[in-house]
A and B are shown apart, each in its own frame.
Chain A
């Protein structure tokens, strides 16, 4: 193989796949990237076997071929190279890299050893504007569980229903759900997919919002692609818990609060909250919301802010981290909190805006 590529294109290709390269692996080939020639382009691939990414970048191909390169070292080299064309040439088990006066010779594993990418039937897939997926993903992935005890909760539930599409994520203590209307190019079938958040993050990172994605699934994988970029992710096997059943419908105690003021107040009192439970107590009264934290051995904190609230007084405890996280993802100026009782779920929604976004938090109760 012999190719010449601009330093900028070379680096762009490398950094696109870098995020999928596992930091530590028992399979040495995975710490490498695969570089293949196409007609007038290079295709750079990286995988950790769960997520696979491939990007194409223009290059002058003199002699076709495929090589592997140590991902970390090559990315470091590309960053330090002068702004000059980079020439890559394979020579037996070695690859030489020449750029201006800089010359590197790197050991390379055989391209045959590189794991093959998942096969996904794109001809049976559907099309979608990238921005829609990105928006759903950006608002929900934070809520997935990081515990390995219920694998389905480690993923985001992505439901495609006719002209509506939603993503839901939960760790059993809090939940985030967003719905968007979509115009799909074909009358595709309904899908229920449980997608690892890392895969969705690659979709957010590697595609432009305006890209028209081709999406398809196989039994075990989901693929996204444009002409230039491909992202594949393993799917998590279901079933996903019936979240709709636990979404409260009778939350009649409604509070409208300024998101910034509420965030600031929770953040302040949470400083003295228990490192273990992060418990903060919210007391809703006519026109006011009082916040209080009591931590044995440490101390107490109180704060208060004016809110719109006319329900019966209500005291309810939450993990402050859950509340703060939700408030970070709601983007409107005001937030609508709906509750019913101290042991029942509370929902947080944006006020105004065109999103159908709902976050839910289960209370943290005190047992006496």
Chain B
């Protein structure tokens, strides 16, 4: 009987595998660049023509390979990166499946030129659709250059799915950018049809790399975070709430140096921004997660775009805390003039400097992608001079405060001057207090000698009836009377200038008809707390006594996110002594 089942020839198997690993030029580039990074390249040159469909080339100055290694490399599951299944559980290198080169070679006209650091002998291997057509000796400097022409020439079905050259070039650029953000100590250059798309030099500083890619403007809007909790470290740069914009956004996640995407992590990061952003605004985020290799499975997806965390909840919670920690400080507030986000030596919070991981050397290949977090590398961190001031960075000197136009409070700080918007600041204070009270605290409510009687519209009346319980917790004790009248017997008393009736009217109108502020709330409690904070806060134009200003400052800086009100506006504007010196030509 004729056998129906048979083993596929290697080149067919490789073509199938190629479909998973390599789906477009960008993924081929990603595989090749990761190989270069694993070979500890310090400079990687990428060129594409026609979006990479006609030709793509990745050249590095890494270790390179000898002739035997080079020949083996093009066999499937041939890899230098892991040896047995034990290593799979703790993958430190970027590639490891041993699929990339043979997969690409199977579906293109492929040329590998390499020379190893050790013997300096150069090898060129040419492969056409998976068949080796030439192995030659050549002279070249150490490193590897892979040229891929006519990708998918022998898989027309796949070739048909490639998009326009411009779209493919965009994808290549995006993939290269992510790799460049993950590997600061490597320089990247990307050319498309001879035009330079990216040129970023080696650096130790994430902000410098971001500035090299997108310009200084974006870099200056970012705040460093560095947070360590229970073996999980979250570092990187996050955007100041006041600088966020709606619409297109930049969002880069890395785990142990590997770019990945995970909408739950994104959601966790954005959770930390809650109540500091207007609806629809999204922050720019560059988050670098570092955790023990055995706690993350990167072997989920052939292209490694997704990863699986052993303890997903913990990772998400830590990301939220990490981002929030960045938003708590005075650095997260808006600033006049240039930001003083200096770059300092990174020392991991909670890790004694002596115990930090050693810098990877040539003897530990695969360590390169960790470079961001190794001592000696420099990433922006909270300027130590300012962190030293917390929490009492406001000098608190009586007389060093001044109310401007009955609306803004100017105060001296150790590093310059802050301007506080009294209404926004009070909003933040009241909002957090109200949320705390909802969670189990008690609010006090002043009984009125003369109850307030209000006529409301049907919509407002309905809101009052639905929210009676929550309003009671706020401090409004109500009694409905007939179909359109409500009697207020007791009111909250958040400050001496509080107008209980006006606050109630405005709040009910907002709650009944909606507004961007309350519509961004997650639940009824938050909805009411936001509205109350906004309507009850001290208004602009209200003269405040020195004591009231001091009290407002004390309470503002005791809140969780003092720098941001509930609308996504800044509460504090900083003017540093450096900026003043600069403006007066003293620097």
Contact = CB atoms under 8 A, between A and B. Distances in A.
A83 B368 CA distance: 91
Interface string A35-75: 00000000000000000000000000000000000000000
A175 B449 contact: yes
A147 interface: yes
B541 to A, nearest CB: 12
Interface in B435-481: 436, 441-450, 472-475, 477
Contact of B443 (A146, A170, A367): A367
A276 interface: yes
Nearest to A275: B551
B472 A172 contact: no
A173 interface: yes
Contact of A147 (B477, B497, B551): B497
A214 interface: no
Contact of A277 (B490, B493, B497, B551): B493
A367 B449 contact: no
A172 B451 CA distance: 9
A279 to B, nearest CB: 5
A364 B473 contact: no
Nearest to B476: A367
A362 B447 contact: yes
Contacts of B442: 366-368
A175 B493 CA distance: 17
B444 A147 contact: no
Contacts of B377: none
A300 to B, nearest CB: 13
A306 B9 CA distance: 101
B472 A367 contact: yes
Contact of A345 (B436, B447, B475): B447
A238 B473 CA distance: 34
A343 B490 CA distance: 9
A325 B445 CA distance: 20
Interface string B479-500: 0000000000110011111010
B448 A362 contact: yes
A343 B499 CA distance: 21
Contacts of B497: 147
B441 A296 contact: yes
A197 interface: no
A365 B450 contact: no
Interface string A309-333: 0000000010100000000000000
B502 to A, nearest CB: 7
Given A147-B499, A149-B501, A368-B442, A343 B447 contact: yes
B444 A149 contact: no
A345 B449 CA distance: 8
Nearest to A362: B447
A343 B495 CA distance: 21
Given A365-B444, A367-B472, A368-B442, A149 B502 contact: yes
Given A319-B446, A367-B445, A367-B472, A276 B493 contact: yes
A279 B450 contact: no
A174 B450 CA distance: 10
Contact of B444 (A172, A173, A275, A279): A279
A364 B447 contact: yes
Contacts of B448: 172-173, 362
B503 to A, nearest CB: 10
B123 to A, nearest CB: 71
Given A276-B494, A367-B475, A362 B449 contact: yes
Contacts of B475: 367
B499 A277 contact: no
Nearest to B495: A276
Interface string B226-245: 00000000000000000000
Interface in A245-299: 246, 274-277, 279, 296-297
A165 interface: no
Given A147-B497, A277-B493, A366 B444 contact: yes
Contacts of A364: 444-447, 493
Nearest to A317: B444
Most buried by B among A174, A243, A296: A296
B495 A366 contact: no
A149 B499 contact: yes
A134 to B, nearest CB: 26
A344 B442 CA distance: 20
B446 A173 contact: yes
A335 interface: no
A363 interface: yes
A367 B473 contact: yes
9 closest A-B pairs (Cβ-Cβ)?
A362-B447, A277-B444, A366-B442, A367-B443, A365-B445, A149-B499, A241-B450, A279-B444, A364-B444
Given A319-B446, A362-B446, A364-B446, 13 more contacts: A149-B501, A173-B448, A173-B449, A246-B449, A275-B551, A277-B446, A296-B436, A343-B489, A345-B449, A362-B447, A365-B446, A367-B474, A367-B477
Interface of B: 436, 441-450, 472-475, 477, 489-490, 493-497, 499, 501-502, 551, 558
22 contacts: A146-B496, A172-B450, A173-B446, A173-B447, A241-B450, A246-B449, A274-B444, A276-B493, A276-B495, A296-B436, A296-B441, A317-B444, A362-B447, A362-B448, A362-B449, A365-B444, A365-B446, A365-B447, A367-B442, A367-B444, A367-B474, A367-B477
